[in-house]
């Protein structure tokens, strides 16, 4: 067991909080004044890619010579950190925007949001949180058992 696995989770949680706060003014601007669909699409894709690159980077730090004994720890780290990012980003972004959005609001400007709403209806944000929390808990339990 490596302490780096848990330190990585702390790093991702902090990064996600700061990144959501960083994106709030842009999201407000798009919401208030609109933007071309391709601009919004690029904003969402670049934000998602940035989050996943940081998740992958933190997971790769668990590979030798930095800490992990094998690739399984790095893979589990990537999964749990993606779960944390998915769980926290939207609620923190919504509360940072200060426009009265509920924590579980999911917009329809990106493909993921549209798919979640199509799949889960008006409860899409709650289901996303439940699934992400399950991934975080299950991966941490699996890590202890491996």
pLDDT in tens, 11-56: 999 999 999 999 999 888 888 888 888 888 888 889 989 999 999 9
Tokens of 12: 């991702």
Contact assessment for residue 30 and residue 40, using Cβ atoms and an 8 Å cutoff: yes
Burial track 72-97 (b if 16+ CB lie within 10 A, e otherwise): ebbebbbbbbbbbbbbbbbbbbbebb
Confidence of residue 3 (pLDDT cuts 50, 70, 90): confident
Q: What's the rounded Cα separation, in Å, for the pair 69 and 125? A: 37
Q: What is the pTM of this model?
A: 0.86
Query: Which 8-state DSSP code applies to residue 143?
Result: H
């Amino acid at each position: 067991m490596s302490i780096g696995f848990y330190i990585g989770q702390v790093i991702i949680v902090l990064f996600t909080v700061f990144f959501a706060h960083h994106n709030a003014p842009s999201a407000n601007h798009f919401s208030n004044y609109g933007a071309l669909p391709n601009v919004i699409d690029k904003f969402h894709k670049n934000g998602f890619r940035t989050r996943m690159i940081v998740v992958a980077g933190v997971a790769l730090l668990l590979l030798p010579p930095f800490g992990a004994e094998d690739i399984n720890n790095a893979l589990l780290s990537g999964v749990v950190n993606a779960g944390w990012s998915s769980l926290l980003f939207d609620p923190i972004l919504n509360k940072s925007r200060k426009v009265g959005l509920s924590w579980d609001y999911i917009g329809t400007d990106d493909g993921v949001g549209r798919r979640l709403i199509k799949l889960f209806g008006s409860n899409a944000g709650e289901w996303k949180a439940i699934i992400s929390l399950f991934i975080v808990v299950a991966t941490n339990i699996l890590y202890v058992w491996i």
